[in-house]
Structure 1
Amino acid sequence: MGFFGSDVQFGKQELIHAVVPLLKLLSLTVIGIVLAHKRTQIVPKSTFKLLSKLVFALFLPCTIFIHLGLSVSVNNLALWWFIPVNVIVSTLIGCLLGLLVAVICRPPPEFFRFTVIVTGFGNTGNLLLAIVGSVCHNGDSLFGPECQTSGTAYVSLAQWVSVLLVYTLVYHMMEPPMEYYEVVEEEDEIEIVQENLPVNDLSRPLLHEAEWPGMDDQETVHCKTPFIARVFANVSDFSETSVPDHEERHEIERDRPQSPKSIRCLAEPRMVRKIRIVAEQTPVRHILQPPTIATLLALIIGMVPFLKSIVYGDDAPLAFLTDSLDIMAGAMVPSVMLVLGGMIAEGPNESRLGLRTTIGILVARLFVLPMIGIGVVFAADKMNLLIEGDRMFLFVLLLQYATPSAILFGAIASLRGYAVSEASALLFWQHIVALFSLSMYSIIYFKLLLMYI
């Protein structure tokens, strides 16, 4: 009887620890919905757009710099190696699930690749930081006194890897399909008209710039074309008509055969040339955004003891600066959830993806993938690949499998002119369903972590 009673108390504890943090986030999201809803219009959408820019350029970098720099060191970074590995593993498993969904649910052919991508790439940034911040808000947290510092450090490292994948792999995978290019191109003309609207126009979706402010300014001549497909189909014809700058440079170099660079270009293999042309059109430079710059600075300062003693700590000469950044970092969690509420208030767009495919993606991403993630993480723990006794480390690894698709998909889809309405509608429904799926899996995670020694 005593054992049974303690088990009931154990159930109440896990329920409180798991559900209350999410209820806090849900409350903030509901406030955002009420403020941005069309019927109330208490706060205009342009204000939410400015708030998302503040999160991107100020609140999020401050959070990363404060907590990551404080906890990182050369030894710790060596112990955290499984975090980027887990991002890649979760993405790979998610893409395989997306391929299975695409085969079973049979979406329209032009959205086959989109189904695979959107199932595979999850939100490893703002949403995870908000969950960690909410879980660690109470003093009696399951994860100890260093809860938020360590949790934010783990999430920041994972986010850096995820952003690298999005700006390289996802960017190219989201290019318009070659065989449906004419249809997509007609849709892009409509989108271009919308993009020429004033910056504060309410008809522009908040989703498109929620995690990439100023995205419209990054458009290139090739971003809305099937660039890779055309390059690899016929690089000579494509490069002559579509990449004149490169060809003009090569013509100049051919006029100077004495130049070693000219000889190298003349001898360049066809496949190498194709890869080079694609690499030159990859927006890697966009990786150096404020959050990733803050991550790099925190890693550099945190791993150099002398610099760390100057910046971090109560007795540090620059303690006043880190305290100021810490104050601004406190606005990150409520701002992220308010912006999410503003996005949800816009409602879902029309989608040609189909109900069966939409449900298949929701089930695969939010219910099946987290179950697989539990097996992957605890198998890695059994093989002694993880930090022993660190519950927050396990919690962050598990959460990487349970989040909805990255909000950055909306910006990428808009930039590439591919599945724009479908991405918006799917992200809307994913975040609605995630309120329930994350609650369910949070209870499971907390039960597992409370049993973990």
Structure 2
Amino acid sequence: MGFFDVHFGQQELIHAVVPLLKLLSLTVIGILLAHPRTQIVPKSTFKLLSKLVFALFLPCTIFIHLGQSVSVQNLALWWFIPVNVIISTVIGCLLGLLVAVVCRPPPEFFRFTVIVTGFGNTGNLILAIVGSVCHDGSNSFGPECHTTGTAYVSLAQWVSVLLVYTLVYHMMEPPMEYYEVVEAEDGEIEIVPENLPVNDLSRPLLHEAEWPGMDDKETVHCKTPFIARVFGNVSDFSETSLPDPDLLHDEVHEPPRSPKSIRCLAEPRMVRKIRIVAEQTPVRHILQPPTIATLLALIIGMVPFLKSIVYGDDAPLSFFTDSLDIMAGAMVPSVMLVLGGMIAEGPNETRLGTRTTIGILVARLFVLPTLGIGVVLLADKMNLLIQGDRMFRFVLLLQYTTPSAILFGAIASLRGYAVSEASALLFWQHVVALFSLSMFSIIYFKLLLMY
């Protein structure tokens, strides 16, 4: 019996660690290629590779595997996946608030500390882990390991990306305390930086990895405290440059409405403020190639007629899906090479403080996964999960284990707030995650083998 326990532990260790060692090897290759001392591959090549991942390899992976697995019945069983993203985000933000209170970062980074602890990477990194785990034919998740795992991760991305483009975008607006309201010569009200900390606004490689072409997404309000102006004490000033809907009339030169009709049709002030903020929310950018691929896969996969045409060995368009499958094979190595290139750049300077940085690392990479185990076990006891599906549980657990979302760094760069701090934190999180992921993978495999 003792020999069996030892053998069982060794096999468990191999199944948990070897997939991560494969990813680590790819990352090291990326570091060697991009390191400043070697300069074998220039930074511009890694940026091009990151764009290929974003626009081609990742959409192909999602379209192939999600479309094959999804159906109306399956979608009804997978409802806990997006819910788990929200739960992990809420718990992470509460941990971030605790870190901010205990570690006391500089005041301008209090909100930043909460957000960066709460929002994890639910996309590329988890897909790479799933792909590496499923690469071995003797894996513990069955022959459909890669297809089902990718489908689960792809479904979770919808909620995560939506939260980033709405909640994170607005929470990352520069603090109003570091801006000053001034009146220009033409009478317009301007918001200018007063004592805002200076950040390096260059585009690091890791920002390009999740949001290529960020320069085209900038608006006039990106790097200003827009919500604080709209809802704060300077809201009246900030709205002076906006057209007043109460004074507008039709463009066909109709006579102005009477004061009584204007009062009836007037938009309430609070409704107007909410509308103005909604118009400045970049939610339209959610329709990026990966999310478009997810939408197409869901539509085709849930319509049996369309699914029979696109997916399957005998499908008329099988030659097309096979070509996409070939390109999807480049996703995992490309993601890890780009990650290696990001690590080779090294950490930026940060004013967050060593105590706060360590607090975020411990909360995000060690405390949150521990709490995530409790959440998943509780959901399992409440029969909220698919019975007997180990991959379903594995993906749920990974959502608590990954570092902060790389897209978070892109949002920081877009808003011009805590850019260097975001880059430094993402660097250290991914370095520490190489160890924390290995540790928790062993724990997860031990738990999953009980099913």
Matches within 5 A, 1:413-452: 413-452=412-451
Residues 196 and 117 (structure 1 numbering): CA distance in 2 closer, same or farther, change over 3 Å? closer
Q: What pairs with 1:322-401 in structure 2 (closer than 5 Å)?
A: 322-401=321-400
Contact 2:201 2:413 in 1 (8 A): no
Equivalent in the alignment of 2:263 = 264
1:304 and 1:126, CA in 2 relative to 1: closer, same or farther beyond 3 A?
Answer: same
Q: 1:311 to 1:36 in 2, by over 3 A?
A: same
CA contact under 8 A between 1:71 and 1:149: conserved in structure 2? yes
Asked if the contact 2:179–2:193 (Cα under 8 Å) also holds between the matched residues in 1, the reply is no
How far off its partner does 1:267 sit?
2.3
1:209 Cα deviation (Å)? 1.4
**Alpha-carbon distance, 1:181 to partner:** 3.1
- CA-to-partner distance for each residue in 1:383-420, whole Å, 9 max, x for gaps? 00000000000000000000000000111000000000
1:253, 1:261 within 8 Å by CA — same for their partners in 2? no
Query: SS at 2:249's partner residue?
Result: helix
Distance 1:291 1:400, change over 3 A: same
Residues 271-321 of structure 1, C-alpha deviations (whole Å, 9 max, x = no match): 111111100000011000000000000000000000000000000000000
Offset from partner CA, 1:120-166 (integer Å, 9 cap, x none): 00000000000000000010110000000000000000011100100
CA contact (8 A) 1:240 1:247 kept: no
Change in 2 beyond 3 A, CA 1:309/1:200: farther
**TM-score, normalised by the number of residues in structure 2:** 0.92
Gap change, CA 1:440 and 1:185, over 3 Å in 2: farther
CA contact (8 A) 2:347 2:428 kept: yes
Contact 1:45 1:202 in 2 (8 A): no
Closer/same/farther in 2, CA of residues 250 and 118 from structure 1, 3 Å limit: farther
Q: How far does residue 243 in structure 1 lie from its aligned partner after superposition?
A: 3.7
Distance 1:192 1:405, change over 3 A: farther
Q: 1:356 to 1:160 in 2, by over 3 A?
A: same
Change (3 A) 1:255 1:178: farther
Provide the secondary structure at the position in 1 that maps to 2:185.
helix
Provide the rounded CA distance (Å) in 1 between the counterparts of 2:153 and 2:182. 36
2:23 is matched with 25
Deviation readout 1:78-115 (Å, 9 max, x if unpaired):
00000000000000000000000000000000000000
Q: Distance in 2 between matches of 1:28 and 1:66?
A: 24
Shift of 1:238: 3.8
Report the Cα offset of residue 246 of structure 1: 7.4
Contact 1:132 1:152 in 2 (8 A): yes
| CA 278–192 in structure 1, closer or farther in 2 if over 3 Å, else same | closer
Cα 1:262/1:449, change in 2 over 3 Å = farther
Number of residue-to-residue matches in the alignment = 450
How big is the shift at 1:194?
18
- Conserved 8 A contact 2:199-2:418: no
Cα–Cα, structure 1 residues 265 and 58, in superposed 2: closer, same or farther, change >3 Å? farther
**Given the superposition, is the C-alpha separation of residues 250 and 428 from structure 1 closer, same or farther in structure 2, using an over 3 Å criterion?**
farther
CA distance in 1, matches of 2:195, 2:320: 40
1:55/1:332 contact within 8 Å kept: yes
- Contact residue 211 and residue 411 of structure 1 kept, 8 A: yes
**Partners in 1 of 2:250 and 2:89 — Cα distance?**
42
Q: CA deviation at 1:197?
A: 22
Indicate how the Cα distance of structure 1 residues 236 and 355 shifts in structure 2: closer, same or farther if over 3 A, else same. Answer: closer
Residues 195 and 204 in structure 1, CA contact (< 8 A), matched pair in contact too: no
CA distance in 2, matches of 1:112, 1:308: 49
Deviation at 1:208, TM superposition (A): 2.1
Distance 1:300 1:427, change over 3 A: same
Which secondary structure does the structure 2 equivalent of 1:193 belong to? Answer: strand
* 1:236 Cα deviation from its structure 2 partner: 5.4
Give the ranges of 4+ consecutive aligned residues of structure 1 lying more than 6 Å apart after TM superposition: 183-203, 245-248, 250-255, 259-262
Distance of 2:256 and 2:190 partners within structure 1: 46
Q: In 2, distance between residues paired with 1:100 and 1:29?
A: 32
Q: Is the 8 A contact 1:73 1:303 kept in 2?
A: yes
Give the superposition deviation at 1:198.
25
1:227 and 1:177 map into 2 onto residues whose CA distance is 10
Shift of 1:47: 0.2
Distance verdict in 2 for CA 1:388–1:325, change over 3 Å:
same
Deviation at 1:260, TM superposition (A): 14
How far apart are the structure 2 equivalents of 1:187 and 1:55? 48
Change beyond 3 A, Cα 1:88–1:412: same
Deviation at residue 173 of structure 1 after TM alignment: 0.4
Task: Provide TM-score, normalisation by structure 1.
Answer: 0.92
Note closer, same or farther for the CA distance 1:160–1:289 as it changes in structure 2 (3 Å cut). Answer: same
Aligned partners of 1:19 and 1:439 also within 8 Å: yes
Q: Distance in 1 between matches of 2:79 and 2:226?
A: 34
Measured in 1, the distance between the counterparts of 2:306 and 2:299 equals 9
1:72 and 2:66 matched: no
Task: Determine what percentage of the aligned residue pairs are the same residue.
Answer: 90
* Structure 1 position 237, deviation (Å): 2.4
Aligned-partner SS, 1:142: coil
- Distance of aligned partners of 1:202 and 1:114 in 2 relative to their CA distance in 1, 3 Å threshold: closer
Consecutive unaligned residues of structure 1, counting only runs of 5 or more, are none
Q: Are 2:247 and 1:276 equivalent residues in the alignment?
A: no
1:228–1:193 distance in 2 versus 1, CA, 3 Å: closer
Q: CA deviation at 1:233?
A: 1.2
